[in-house]
A and B are shown apart, each in its own frame.
Chain A
Amino acid sequence: MYSEKVMDHFSNPRNVGEIENADGVGEVGNASCGDIMKIFLKVDNGIITDVKFKTFGCGAAIATSSMVTEMALGKTIAEALVLTNAAVAEALDGLPAQKMHCSNLAADALHEAIKDYQERHPNA
């Protein structure tokens, strides 16, 4: 049911964990199934220099969390803000139709973390 990429990111997720004193933290819950994703950011000169995640969710949710952190790392805030759920799903070679909503968590949590960063650093 899942692509090889999904299985890879599920079995060896990148960037699992938390960041002490993160510059931005985003947490979202999935309205469809009740799962939770949390993303931590370190930002330097407008560039995402570190990103970590924690996820309570299905295999697709874990794989998309992993993928979105990989995609966001090294990007500018502006670039990361335009990362979409669809782009994350595509980078994983697609998700089964009933699992598309899981990818919403990933980009939403990233965007929430960026929003938190921007609120905390209004002059950045």
Chain B
Amino acid sequence: MNHIYLDNNATTPVRPEVLTAMLPYFSEQFGNPSSVHWAGRQVSGALEKARAQVATLINASPAEIVFVSCGSEGDNMAILGTLDALGDKGKHIITTAVEHPAVLNTCKYLEKRGYSVTYLPVDQDGMLDLVELEAAITPETVLISIMWANNETGTLFPIAEIGAIAKKHQVRFHCDAVQAVGKVPVDVQAANVDFLVISGHKLGAPKGIGAIYIRRGTKLTPLLHGGHQERNRRAGTHNVPSIVGLGLACELAGQEMAEKSVQIKALRDRLEAGLFAAVPQIKLNGHPTARLPNTLNVSFAWIEGESLLMSLDMKGIAASSGSACTSGSLEPSHVLGAMCVEVTLAHSSTRFSLGANNTEAEIDYVIEILPPIVQRLRDMSPLYNCRDRETCTVGCESLQKL
């Protein structure tokens, strides 16, 4: 069976060039970059090269890049570090209802400790209202934390406008750009962000490595206390092979993004058009145009996402779902909930996230096999073609608003 991987927003394979570049740093060049001797000197150059590669991709200077262990760490560091450093100025954070749990749960943790958080709502396309953002700023506000691109729907927020608002009100702006970097152009100067978080495994570098951009001169309490690495911003001996991998992945992304994003978007659009033509009663989740080029999130009314994923998996296709049944918490996606997607439609949401390795033949195969799978599950569903309305406890009517 062919394996078709359409879950690149979850993670990506390490690129072969990246793996090759990393390998010497496990054995021959094993030194600790903080050591003054030959073994340390050998690798400190590689570390600084990677820092410059990451900085170039997002138009920062190398001194503004700090390596961290993952995207979640970067988000925690920006939020907790700011509230600790600026706690006497104010205790209010503004974020959105659709952030990744790395941001949302950090904010919830702070709420329990006496901080206040505004969770901005989004509209049905998952878009923010900037008037509401500006209105939410109070003299107590010390941080705005808003993602560049949503991991579930791909919706892109107007980051430069948000940055301008933050600057006007002199509030710090943290941007979780984990899903954006490598997929769309990201420029920290143009966007006026103070912190921007990157995760390696979303762009062809390994899992367990990330970086945070910290605007020069920004006071931030470290998350990890210990040695003097990363100019005292982040303790811990450097993960040199992964840092080298992240650096190269960023450099390659910079070189290839313009061309590859066009190619990936063409495939994504082909999938979108193909599915909408072949399957009735489906709904796009996410913004129709302001969206990552690789992401397609659709709800197939009347069926549940996990059973669809299992059927796709049996055909070798990997995708993901916002269904409660796949979530561990048994709650449907908070992102779709914030977008007011009806609960059973949220249940049936399926995310296809493409990558540079996908081919037209793969997309056509998905378009071919998906409609009968959907039909099979619909024929099994008590909600589909429900004749006896009284016994349709979730209300066919709200579903039929489609």
Residues of chain A at the chain B interface (Cβ within 8 Å) = 2, 7, 10-11, 13, 16, 25, 27, 29, 32-38, 54-59, 61-62, 98, 101-102
Contacts and interface: CB of A to CB of B under 8 A. Distances in A.
Contacts of B304: 35, 56-58, 61
A35 B326 CA distance: 12
Interface-central residue, B303, B304, B383, by most chain A CB under 10 Å: B304
Given A34-B347, A56-B344, A58-B304, 5 more contacts: A16-B380, A33-B325, A35-B347, A56-B303, A57-B325
Interface of B: 302-304, 306-307, 310, 314, 323-326, 328, 330, 332, 343-344, 347, 379-383, 391, 393-394
B241 to A, nearest CB: 32
27 contacts: A2-B310, A10-B307, A10-B310, A11-B314, A13-B380, A16-B379, A27-B393, A29-B394, A33-B330, A34-B344, A35-B325, A36-B383, A36-B393, A37-B382, A55-B380, A55-B382, A56-B302, A56-B303, A56-B347, A56-B382, A57-B304, A58-B310, A59-B310, A61-B307, A62-B307, A62-B380, A101-B330
B306 A58 contact: yes
A11 B343 CA distance: 25
Contacts of B343: 34
Contact of A38 (B303, B310, B323, B391): B391
Contacts of A13: 380
Nearest to B323: A58
Nearest to A31: B330
Contacts of B324: 32-35
A27 B347 contact: no
Give the interface SS of chain A, mostly helix, strand, loop or mixed: mixed
Contacts of A62: 307, 380
A56 B383 contact: yes
A59 B306 contact: yes
Contacts of B381: 54-56
Contacts of B332: 34
Interface-central residue, A32, A33, A62, by most chain B CB under 10 Å: A33
A92 B303 CA distance: 23
A38 B386 CA distance: 12
Contacts of A16: 379-380
Contacts of A56: 302-304, 344, 347, 381-383
B306 A54 contact: no
Which 6 A-B pairs rank lowest in CB-CB distance, beginning with the nearest?
Answer: A58-B325, A54-B382, A58-B306, A33-B324, A38-B382, A59-B310
A95 B380 CA distance: 21
A27 B380 CA distance: 14
Nearest to B328: A98
A115 to B, nearest CB: 14
Contacts of B380: 13, 16, 54-55, 62
Nearest to B331: A33
A79 to B, nearest CB: 25
B79 to A, nearest CB: 29
Contacts of B323: 58
A27 B391 contact: yes
Contacts of A55: 380-382
A101 B330 CA distance: 10
B307 A59 contact: yes
A36 B325 contact: no
Nearest to B303: A56
Nearest to A102: B325
Contacts of A98: 328
Contacts of A59: 306-307, 310
A57 B393 contact: no
A101 B328 CA distance: 12
B347 to A, nearest CB: 7
B314 to A, nearest CB: 7
Nearest to A10: B310
A11 B380 CA distance: 12
B110 to A, nearest CB: 29
B336 to A, nearest CB: 13
Contacts of B328: 98
Contacts of A35: 304, 324-325, 347
